[in-house]
Structure 1
């Protein structure tokens, strides 16, 4: 049974970094007519690993049924959670935690890795922040461990939805 709690768009315009946790449901205002949604999967040293749902709405509200039936728009990414949710440095960016799934257990994440380092010091890290040494050639096949800001995420979204 999914145990969701929603408090909506207007309740918390800012969430302090230490309170952002796995299972948090977030909403992103793309423009005056489009909102997207996602969920925090885990916390790692560099930020929060998150999934973005393939659900777009004209309002900042999402029903449990949409969360349960949504797919990921693209592979999980690492968000710059400090900039997006806590400090909100980017004036045009509006990211808000709007709810939480208490019983959330990540699925389809066994093959999600990011990479950092160079040469003989390349490492891969999973969503639980476990690090493993890898070859440079293997590292080239993985996404870089670089927290994504609003601009970066919107660039990714352009491949999937029309933002204007």
Structure 2
């Protein structure tokens, strides 16, 4: 693990594992909101949670130099980012596998956790899709974190490679349902068109969770299918 001094303050030190831990913490908070409320937290909700956490949990066992101090407020400041590509239904994308090959998919609907994407059963050495394979799924469509994967491209190696003009959801998507809720009594289903309703644990059995997959979770989700394709060659 590497450690380094922050450019704006020589007294502040951070490292790779620290940033990984913070990333996992933020993902975990987001996952809880997505599981319980089928949406991501707002900046205000994260700020409120951090304020409570600092007041209750931060002491000399956690941080140096805080004995006798009280945390009054944690403030998250924002500014406008440079304009980026806004992911829209019909966008074709490529993602890189660990072995260096590219897989392919298409954004098919917006979602509160990012976007729904269909994943094609096709891999190539370059990010160039064979459009004769556009009707063959590797796995059924899944929710993905389209913002971090395709807009900011801050995790993994994902890229927009084309667009299907005037794309609309067809009949084959209408029967797909996704489950969210924190316990059996609050389970809900939703589809790609935003329809939703209560669902029993028995009915929810085997249905995919309505959680936006990041690069790591996506790789886990498709891993067995990718290995099966390699073995079949």
Cα distance in structure 1, aligned partners of 2:174 and 2:212: 20
Aligned equivalent of 1:10? none
- Higher relative contact order structure (alpha carbons within 8 Å, sequence separation ≥ 6): 1
Give secondary structure in 1 for the equivalent of 2:224: coil
Give the alignment of 1:138-157 within 5 angstroms.
Answer: 138-157=203-222
Unaligned runs of 5+ in 2: 1-82
Which of residues 95, 100, 116 is equivalent to 2:180? 116
Cα distance in structure 2, aligned partners of 1:79 and 1:145: 9
Unaligned runs of 5+ in 1: 1-14
Q: Normalized per residue, which structure has more helix? A: 2
The CA deviation string for residues 40-61 of structure 1, in whole angstroms up to 9 with x for no partner, is 1100212101111001011111
Aligned equivalent of 2:112? 45
Aligned length: 144
C-alpha deviation, 1:31, in angstroms: 4.3
Aligned equivalent of 2:121? 54
Aligned equivalent of 1:159? 224
The CA deviation string for residues 77-130 of structure 1, in whole angstroms up to 9 with x for no partner, is 00011221123332xx11111110013233311221111112332110001121
Aligned equivalent of 1:65? 132
Q: Normalized per residue, which structure has more strand? A: 1
After superposition, the Cα gap between the structure-2 partners of 1:25 and 1:140, relative to the gap in structure 1 and judged at 3 Å, is: same
The CA RMSD over aligned residues, in Å, is 2.1
Give secondary structure in 2 for the equivalent of 1:156: helix
Is the Cα–Cα contact under 8 Å of residues 16 and 85 in structure 1 kept in the other structure?
no
